[in-house]
Amino acid sequence: MKFEMNNGNKIPIIGVGTYLMKDEHELSQIIGESLRIGYRLIDTAAVYRNETIIGKIISNISSYNLNRDDIFITTKLSPADQGRDKCKKAIMDSLERLKLSYIDLVLIHFPGSSRSTPKSPKNPENRRGSWQDLEELQQAGIVKNIGVSNYTIRHLEELFGYAKIKPVVNQIEVHPLFHSKELIDFCKKHSIIVQAYSSLGARDGWPILSTNLTLKKMAQKYEKTVAQILLKWALQHDLCIIPKTSKVERLKSNFQIFDFELSIEDMAQINGLNENHKFCWDPEPIL
């Protein structure tokens, strides 16, 4: 289950998120089990402070009867490391922590830079420098694919103005309570894959998972969990997904979403739940 990216390379449509997971035993159990279940993409980031542990776990990939090129590792450039040359050094540090000879996908985590106000001209200047570094890292074969995260249409249009290599992915917050049709359509039009994060409503999950009556009824109708309905809704919008869980049983059920189909009417009903309710950071104010 993979999508082809605009450079011809392939990306698994479902992966495991690892935000807030720093315990070695827990990560080892979750990543190990996810590989056994069939997940092939692991999503990390420099700011998650778990690259070293993930590197240790995947250095033992042959114990899962898999090769390095069977799995797909995504990491992200921290907003603290945005800018020409700084980005390159940061990604080389990630590479070392992950104990890899190449990283499958590196994303610019956020359009803003640390220690810059949202309207600071340092933000676009650093983004441009970071992108140039990423292009060079891709040309050197250290990074196979490069993309962005939390980019709005405005940030993408700016990038198109100077990019020699087009981003393959834009990883953005998408769930029924917050989804921008305009941004998703824009990415599709430019052959940029949208990878949804916080599909289950972020770290707490409760506003969507436990209180939404429409989704609860739909879960009953399809004999699925609300989490499965949410993930399927994203897949039927042709999005990639990276749900995070620290529980093995949820890892399994979050993967059991390929044996049913939401009807056109039910998709429309879920689309209608949009109330512009974000759980994560907002890139809109970033110059």
Ligand X SMILES: NC(=O)c1ccc[n+]([C@@H]2O[C@H](COP(=O)([O-])OP(=O)(O)OC[C@H]3O[C@@H](n4cnc5c(N)ncnc54)[C@H](OP(=O)(O)O)[C@@H]3O)[C@@H](O)[C@H]2O)c1
Compute, in degrees rounded to 10, the torsion defined by CA atoms 28, 228, 69, 92: -60
Interacting residues with ligand X between 226 and 265 (CB under 6 A): 227, 242-247, 250, 253-254
150 binds ligand X (CB under 6 A): yes
109 appears as a binding residue in the annotation: yes
Helix, strand or coil, per DSSP, at residue 241: strand
Q: Which of residues 18-57 bind ligand X (CB under 6 A)?
A: 18-19, 43
The rounded distance, in Å, linking the Cα atoms of 141 and 57 is: 23
Write down the least CB distance from residue 131 to ligand X, Å: 17
For residues 231 and 225, the answer to whether their CB atoms sit within 8 Å is: no
Please confirm, yes or no, whether 48 is among the known catalytic residues: yes
Query: What interhelical angle do 226-236 and 248-255 show, nearest 10?
Result: 40
Alpha helix positions (H), the chain: 24-37, 51-58, 86-97, 122-139, 153-162, 181-189, 206-209, 213-222, 226-236, 248-255, 264-271
Smallest distance from ligand X to CB 175, Å: 7
Shortest Å, Cβ 201 to ligand X: 6
Number of residues binding to ligand X, judged by CB under 6 A: 30
Q: Whose Cβ is closer to ligand X: residue 67's or residue 195's?
A: 195
| Binding-site annotation, residues | 109
Catalytic residues: 48
| Binding-site annotation, residues for substrate | 109
Residues making contact with ligand X (CB under 6 A):
17-19, 43, 109, 149-150, 171, 197-205, 209, 225, 227, 242-247, 250, 253-254, 280
